[in-house]
């Protein structure tokens, strides 16, 4: 007789207020996971930049602003993140600790990554850097989102618009990314293989790694996110 083992269900992502996020169980573990995830996320972005084979929509925008202003990539990420947070105000959203940390830690980690990673000469090395960056980005997303300490500024903008307007998540996410991608391209940001690869794979990657890294909380006064 064969015995089949059931795969454990993924822990749910909960709709927590900023206060609930900090009062929920396993806070030291979640804080550590958050910081590791955000640091790896910034480093993965540097890997994608140094591959020179194309960026995700927001980083096309960031790179375009970098070329126009002469500011470092991390500085642009920081300024854009703060600007996006200002858009939360009319949406009546409150940032969590992870939201604020997202703005500063990713900006710093990206600049550190760009300082230590050089652009490879060989195409094979560039492709390896691109693929590794996309996978690491998925791991990092699972880590920091799974810490349940608040969404990033850009994700929060999307969910806030959905809640206030009644638009679908798909339409809202697509509209935002088309807008920033087109703006970044006009500013001189890099589109290419990486842009396509990221668009096709980042959703499944983050979904997979969320199953691995989401910290189970289940407070009585919170409900799962849709």
The whole-number average pLDDT for the span 98-126 is 96
DSSP secondary-structure letter at 192? S
Note every long-range contact of 200-208, with CB atoms under 8 Å and residues 24 or more positions apart, other chains counting.
201/134, 201/138, 202/56, 202/134, 202/137, 202/138, 202/141, 205/134, 205/135, 205/137, 205/138, 205/139, 205/141, 205/142, 206/138, 206/141, 206/142, 206/145, 208/138, 208/142
Q: What is the structure's pLDDT at 156?
A: 86
The whole-number average pLDDT for the span 85-103 is 91
Task: Decide if pLDDT at 10 tops 70.
Answer: no
Q: What is the structure's pLDDT at 3?
A: 38
* pLDDT digits 0-9 by tens, 172-199: 888 998 999 999 999 999 999 999 999 9
Q: How confident is the model at residue 11 (pLDDT cuts 50, 70, 90)?
A: confident
Q: What is the structure's pLDDT at 45?
A: 96
pTM for the predicted model, two decimal places: 0.87
* pLDDT digits 0-9 by tens, 55-84: 999 999 999 999 999 999 999 999 999 999
């Amino acid at each position: 007789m064969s015995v089949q083992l059931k795969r454990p269900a993924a822990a749910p992502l909960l709709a927590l207020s900023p206060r609930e996020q900090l009062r929920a169980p396993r806070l030291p573990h979640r804080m550590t996971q958050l910081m590791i995830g955000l640091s790896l996320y910034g480093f993965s972005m540097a890997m994608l930049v140094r591959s020179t084979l194309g960026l995700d929509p927001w980083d096309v925008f960031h790179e375009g602003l970098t070329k126009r202003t002469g500011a470092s990539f991390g500085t642009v990420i920081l300024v854009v993140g703060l600007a996006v947070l200002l858009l939360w105000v009319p949406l009546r959203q409150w940032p969590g600790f992870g939201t604020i940390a997202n703005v500063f830690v990713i900006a710093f980690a990206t600049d550190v990554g760009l300082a230590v990673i050089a652009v490879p000469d060989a195409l094979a090395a560039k492709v390896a850097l691109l693929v590794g960056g996309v996978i690491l980005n998925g791991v990092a997303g699972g880590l920091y989102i799974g810490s349940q300490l608040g969404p990033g500024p850009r994700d929060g903008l999307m969910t806030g618009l959905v809640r206030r307007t009644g638009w679908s998540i798909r339409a809202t996410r697509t509209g935002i990314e088309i807008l920033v991608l087109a703006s970044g391209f006009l500013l001189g940001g890099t589109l290419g293989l990486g842009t396509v690869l990221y668009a096709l794979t980042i959703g499944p990657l983050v979904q997979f790694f969320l199953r691995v890294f989401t910290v189970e909380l289940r407070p009585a006064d919170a409900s799962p996110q849709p």
